[in-house]
Amino acid sequence: MPLDLTLIIVLSLPLLGFAVNGIFGKMLSKKLVGSIATIAVFTSFILATTLFVRLDGTQIVKLFNIVDHDNFKINASFQIDALSVWMSLIITGIGSLIHLFSIGYMSNDEGYYKFFSYLNLFIFSMLILVLGSNYFVLFFGWEGVGLCSYLLISFHYNDKHKGVANSLAGRKAFIMNRIGDGGLLLGLFMLLGQFNSLEYLEIGQSLAANTHLGSGAMVFIALCLFIAATGKSAQIPLFTWLPDAMAGPTPVSALIHAATMVTAGIYLLVRSNFLFELAPSIKDLVLYIGLATTLLSAFIALRQNDIKKILAYSTVSQLGLMFVALGFGAYSVALFHVTTHAFFKALLFLGSGSVIHGMHEEQDIRKMGGLAKLMPITHFTFLIGTMAISGIPLFSGFFSKDEIMAQALHHNIWAYSILVVAVSLTAIYMFRLYFLTFHGNFRGGENLKSKVHESGLSMTLPLAILAILSVFGGILNLPGLFFKGSAHWFDNYLSQGTFGLEHIHNVHLDFNAAIQLMIFASTVALGILVWAYFVYFKKGNLAKSDLELSSWEKLSASKLYFDEAYNYLLVNPLIKLSDFTGKILDIKILRNGVYAIADGVLNTANLSRRWQSGFLSSYLFWMIFGLILFIAFYILKISI
Amino acid sequence: MILILLPLIFSIIAWIAPSSTMRLIGLIASACSLVASIISVSFFNPTEHVLFDLGVQLVRFSMDSLGYIMVILTNAVFFLVFLSNYYNQIIGHRRFTALAFLMQFGLLGVFTVNTILGFYLFWELTLIPIFMILYWFGSFENSRVLMKFFLYTLFGSLAMLVSVIGLMQITHQQTYDALLAADLSTIGNAGIWLMGGFLLAFAVKIPLFPFHTWQAQTYTKAPIAGTMLLSAIMLKMALFGLLKWVLPIFDGIATDFWRWPIITLSLIGIIYGAVIAIRHQNLKTIFAYASLSHLGLITAGLMLQNSQTNEFAVVQIVNHSIVAIGLFMAAGIIEQRLKTTNINELGGIAKVAPRFAFWFAVLTFISLSVPFTSGFIGEFFLIKAIFDVHVFSGILACTTLVLGAIYMLRAYQAPMFGPTKNEKFLDLRWSEIAVFALLSLAAIYFGLAPKCITDFVAHSLIQTTH
Amino acid sequence: MSLQIISIILGSLTLASALLVVFSKHPVRSVIYLVVTFFFITSMYIMMNAQFLAIVNMIVYAGAIMVLFLFVLMLLNLNKEAEPVTTKGSQLAAFIAGGSLFLVLITALKDTLTLGQTYRAHNDQIGLVKQLGNLLFTKYLVAFEITSILFIAAMVGAILLAKREKQIIE
Amino acid sequence: MQVASNIGSSLDFYLFVSIALFAIGAIGAMTRKNMIVLLMCIELMLNAVNLMLVTFSTFYGNGDAQIFVFFTMVVAAAEATVGLSIIIMAYRNLKSIDIDMYNQLKN
């Protein structure tokens, strides 16, 4: 099969699934709907694998021309290179697992077919995003995933208790994403203005050929792209939508808000590496924002009690970590963490989904406990996920985090120390979550306990696969000290096959430093594991109710008051402004101003009507008065 | 030529025909004009410039590709209005059908006439039917709002009449081509004033920021078919006039003088409309202000006088018609079934009417101009054009993305989601689904292949911009 | 010189009787004073040797029109009815207006007035019947004939107005 | 002061008298409420104008103005006839000739 045909099929299969499920889904049985959706994505995955195997440099597939401007052409064209193929592997691979999981998870839902068609649409948009060969196509996907995210977050808009909250969460996500989109749009305008092209390759090549292009413009472009990335990838200041986005069904959280869509920001920055290399100040900004995000969100996660909220903040924190790597210019490292993070975060979310499913929609970890015995497979896979994200040695998260730490240590010791704190916090809240959920006594009441059950095969199978990936994902990019020859496979793969990354080489620490770093990291992670074991397992230290929290805990539980601050600083002024313009400016001043003109005419008319009193003598008087005026005017005219 | 006269004939037929057949007559007649225009466009070469000389000196017609786009748009809008209101009371009235066709005749005249005085005549001709429609079928409690609309537009038109006369006096020309060729640079500041007269008329019609106060109230009180006609096609006359007549003719001192004031007003309107829409309670009012916001962008783009930008402005004009019909139709469906469009009194419709919820959502996203829809292409290149000229203005224009998302999602979610307040809600009828589907298809088609519009109008636009 | 004194006396008498017309309370007296005023005006015409106009004025105004006025007054039997008094304010306004009208007219004609003190008449035969008759029946013949139509119209109008009012009332 | 032998007085005197007559007539028209008196005041003003015309005609030596005065008198006669008959009719309608009672023009 030729390359372009393969690509088109990869793209169109999810779209086909969307169309079939969307139009005929209502008539088909649930099993069939789920299978169609899953098979569509899975076939895409297989074909993407063939693309991966046959990958040979960068190839462009042009479909059709969208806009034919005097100065530039914008094509619907797609780019096959290491980066895009790798991303599409993650998307379709994880995507098909999550589809499989959803068959079981959503089995009781009314909008079953709608859910699957939205999921397929999402996969399609995400593929457009990563496969596009220019920023315009990327923007199509970019907004498309935002749209799907909105649809899926507010999926349960009819829920009796949380319907309104769900739809509001969706709206918040969409609006915050839109702010980022606005940034991306501005960046695109600037790019078009500077290069008369939006193709990655053309921009990159003209930059390489012509390095003295205005650096101010580069800074502006990079800043705009970064704003877009903060919106999509939930970084400070636009991160508050992601925890709220957990209102969507759990597979959605796993697919969109952990594994794929939120990494679009990372993808954008990696893709635009050549731009960021020319704007060092923005790179520093990326670093600082990443550091702040990873630390603050890890802190917030410490005292959250909703199982999905904890994972959401953890996602934000991990994304921050990736941005730190980007800030150091270590693009492949960031992408490596994207990959492992996709594995273990999808696993954790699906695990939490399994828990929630088993617990009959209960998400508060204060009401769980002792689930290890009731849900053994879920428990085991969740444990693996926890160990992976906490950086327990030899799990995938360990390697990817270690790479980032190594970058930090090399560049900036302060950044490194902050990262150590953030990573330690990650381990703490993850083990807190794990122990509170799966160990100790069941706290949800006997009634619920009897109903708790292990999930079916369609749900546990993806868990198992993801667990295996989480354990062994690190092999992709083993550091030099294990296998001399095949070390840094992923680094090499990516930097050889992606434009702009050829010249950027990640720093690799020397043997001693690397091993010291690893030992330190392992010690910290294991130490926290042991500490958490004692605190939460042995002592049975439970999550406190909201009233008993100490001051820092309160700060963490209330999410550092970000939402309140935004409400106070942005939302309320906007509402006030809207009220002001709507009620005062528009009605009082403008509308009444128009009325005032009309009234003025009316009043003048009334006044002059009164003048026409009907009394002849007054008419006569005015007549003579006018006569006098006329003659006086005549006199003046003569005499002047 | 027959194309232009068709609606007039239908209008007369509608006066005579028995009222029981009125629905069908309206639908079939409007479909006829649409089909006729599509057939004739397939024989049309976009580079051509056909002239119809009737021997009457003051009124002469011509057809170019821009005119064709507008003619098809007009016919399509009327067809969709008739189709979407097929089950409404209003369509059954002889007066409505006849007046609507009369208005269509006026609109077609505006879009095809080749003399400046004819332009004014047809411009005014459209005002009378819509006024009568609003007067007979609207729910204006006091006539003040309606009078405001009427006087406002009439006042603007008078300013235009003064300018038309002035222009004819100064140049001694009245056909489009002769006016284009006429050298207005010699008259200096008089050109600025003449253009100001036109701009005032257009600013009222579009409407631009301080002249918009008739809009929201009129839209809210008008019958839904009237609102559709007003926003989907009547406002386009002003944009068309700007694009085809005023800007090319006054190109030079006058356009340089007015460019930034008008763009500033448009930008204010963009943000102003969006900000007001965020908090308004009435669905129709929200859409009216949204329309203010959208049209501001088109106006600003047109004022840049760049032929490429103009192409996308035409795309956006088409898109705005799609959005306006769709959204006001959704509001109309709610109003017709529940007798209210106040979003505080609505809720949970999605549960009762899933099909309506779906199509309304599609239209909402089209109006949010997400990619794959025509709105995206139009907005993208219009904002880009503004951005290229003035970075800060471009950034301001970009805020519509965010503000638009805020008010549109609110307008969609409040009635559709949440606790069900209205249990009885008849889901969509076939005619309504057909309209929604046609609109969505058109939006997506133009979103993926805007070339079919841009290339088609390119020739006549190159002619209009030097 | 004596003529001048006579004319000054006549002029003052004209003005005095005119003031009496305006200020006498009784309408009948007003009419009488008006007749007197017309007499004086006629005498001034004679002073200026405008004989034809003097005669016509005498016959038409002092004779016909004034008799008409008197008849109407008698017909309506208004001679005893007290006329309503106008307010002081409007009277004051009227006087101011009249006074300023006077002043303004004086100002307007001031050049003529100063010049007129030494101005002499070219031809004092102009107002004779023969002269005017010539003019009237040659140059202004058509206009003269048309006045007859005017009179017929006035007559018809007067009769109609005075006769048909009964149908108009109800 | 030299004065024309048979004219009596100088131009300025006659003009002064006619202007004064006109002003008096105007004052009367404004102050009096009786319609008949009003009509008489108007006659007074007409005569003032006539006087002025005759004056100028005599001093200028042109007979046309006197013809004009003649026509004015004709019209004044017609006007008086019609005006008085209107007054009669109005009196029959309202039983009053007070000018302020006739304010129907207002509406």
**CATH assignment of the domain containing C67:** 1.20.120.1200
Cβ within 8 Å of residue B390, ≥6 positions away: none
- Contact list in B for residue A148 (CB cut-off 8 A) is none
- Three-state DSSP class for residue B200: helix
- Is pLDDT at D21 greater than 90 in this prediction? yes
**CATH assignment of the domain containing D90:** 1.10.287.3510
Confidence of residue A614 (pLDDT cuts 50, 70, 90): low
D4: in domain: no
- Is pLDDT at D45 greater than 50 in this prediction? yes
- Is pLDDT at A182 greater than 50 in this prediction? yes
C150: in domain: no
Task: Give me the number of domains chain C comprises.
Answer: 2
Task: Give me the number of domains chain D comprises.
Answer: 1
C109 interfacial to chain A (CB closer than 8 Å): no
- Is pLDDT at C83 greater than 50 in this prediction? yes
Nearest CB to C100: which of A628, A634, A635?
A628
Residue B455: Cβ within 10 Å count: 14
Confidence of residue A127 (pLDDT cuts 50, 70, 90): very high
Which chains sit next to C, with 3 or more Cβ pairs under 8 A?
Answer: A, D
A221 phi/psi in degrees, rounded to 5? -60, -50
Give the C-alpha separation, D45 to A401, whole Å: 114
Give the C-alpha separation, B95 to B136, whole Å: 9
Structural domain boundaries enclosing D55: 11-106
Give the C-alpha separation, B358 to C153, whole Å: 83
Question: Are residues C108 and C56 located together in one domain of the fold?
Answer: no
Question: Are residues C4 and C59 located together in one domain of the fold?
Answer: yes
Give me the residues of A, 142-201, that contact B with CB < 8 A: 142-144, 146-147, 150, 154, 157-158, 163-164, 167-168, 171, 174-175, 178-179, 181-182, 185-186, 188-190, 192-193
Which chains sit next to D, with 3 or more Cβ pairs under 8 A?
Answer: A, C
CB-CB under 8 Å, C97 with D17: no
User: How do residues B381-404 score in pLDDT, each as one tens digit?
Assistant: 899 889 888 888 888 888 888 888
Would you state the pLDDT for residue D106?
55
Question: Are residues C50 and C3 located together in one domain of the fold?
Answer: yes
Q: Nearest C-alpha of chain A: how many angstroms from B184?
A: 29
Q: Which is it for the CA torsion A427, A432, A437, A438, positive or negative? A: positive
C165: in domain: no
Q: Nearest C-alpha of chain A: how many angstroms from B405?
A: 6
Cβ within 8 Å of residue C49, ≥6 positions away: C124, C125, C126, C127, C128, D6, D7, D58
B415 phi/psi in degrees, rounded to 5? -75, -30
Give the C-alpha separation, A371 to A367, whole Å: 11
D6: in domain: no
- Is pLDDT at C82 greater than 60 in this prediction? no
Question: Are residues C13 and C79 located together in one domain of the fold?
Answer: yes
ipTM reported for the complex surpasses 0.95 = no
- Three-state DSSP class for residue A345: helix
Give me the residues of C, 95-134, that contact D with CB < 8 A: 95, 97-99, 101-102, 105-106, 109, 112-124, 126-127, 131-132
Do D and B make contact, counting contact as 3+ CB pairs within 8 angstroms?
no
Is the model more confident about A503 or about A269? A269
**Contact between B223 and B133 (Cβ < 8 Å):** yes
A621 interfacial to chain C (CB closer than 8 Å): yes
CB-CB under 8 Å, A581 with B276: yes
Question: Are residues C1 and C78 located together in one domain of the fold?
Answer: yes
Do B and C make contact, counting contact as 3+ CB pairs within 8 angstroms?
no
Q: What does the pLDDT profile of chain B (466 residues) look like in tens digits? A: 666 777 777 777 777 777 777 777 778 888 888 888 888 877 777 776 777 766 666 677 888 888 888 888 988 998 888 888 887 777 777 788 888 888 888 888 888 888 888 889 889 888 888 888 888 887 766 677 888 888 888 888 999 999 988 888 888 877 888 888 777 767 777 888 888 899 999 998 888 888 888 888 888 888 888 888 888 888 899 999 988 888 888 887 888 888 889 999 999 999 888 888 888 888 888 999 998 888 999 999 988 888 888 888 999 999 999 999 999 999 888 888 888 888 888 887 888 888 888 889 899 999 888 888 888 888 888 998 898 888 888 888 888 888 888 889 888 888 888 777 767 777 788 888 888 999 999 999 988 888 888 888 887 776 655 4
How much of chain D exceeds pLDDT 90, in percent?
20
- Is pLDDT at D1 greater than 70 in this prediction? no
Structural domain boundaries enclosing C80: 1-84
Is the model more confident about A109 or about A79? A79
Q: Which of A60, A58, A110 has its CA nearest to residue A82?
A: A58
Confidence of residue D4 (pLDDT cuts 50, 70, 90): very low
Question: Are residues C94 and C50 located together in one domain of the fold?
Answer: no
Question: Are residues C53 and C10 located together in one domain of the fold?
Answer: yes
- Is pLDDT at C117 greater than 90 in this prediction? no
Q: What's the mean per-residue pLDDT of chain C?
A: 81
- Is pLDDT at A170 greater than 90 in this prediction? no
Tally C-beta pairs within 8 A across A and C.
Answer: 23
D2: in domain: no
Give the C-alpha separation, A45 to A94, whole Å: 9
Give the C-alpha separation, A436 to C41, whole Å: 127
Would you state the pLDDT for residue B56?
66
How much of chain A exceeds pLDDT 70, in percent?
95
C134 interfacial to chain A (CB closer than 8 Å): no
Is the model more confident about A274 or about B424? A274
Q: Nearest C-alpha of chain A: how many angstroms from D104?
A: 6
Question: Are residues C43 and C73 located together in one domain of the fold?
Answer: yes
Helices (H) and strands (E) in chain D, counts: 3, 0
**Contact between B34 and B71 (Cβ < 8 Å):** no
C160: in domain: no
C98 interfacial to chain A (CB closer than 8 Å): yes
Q: Taking the model in full, what pTM does it have?
A: 0.81
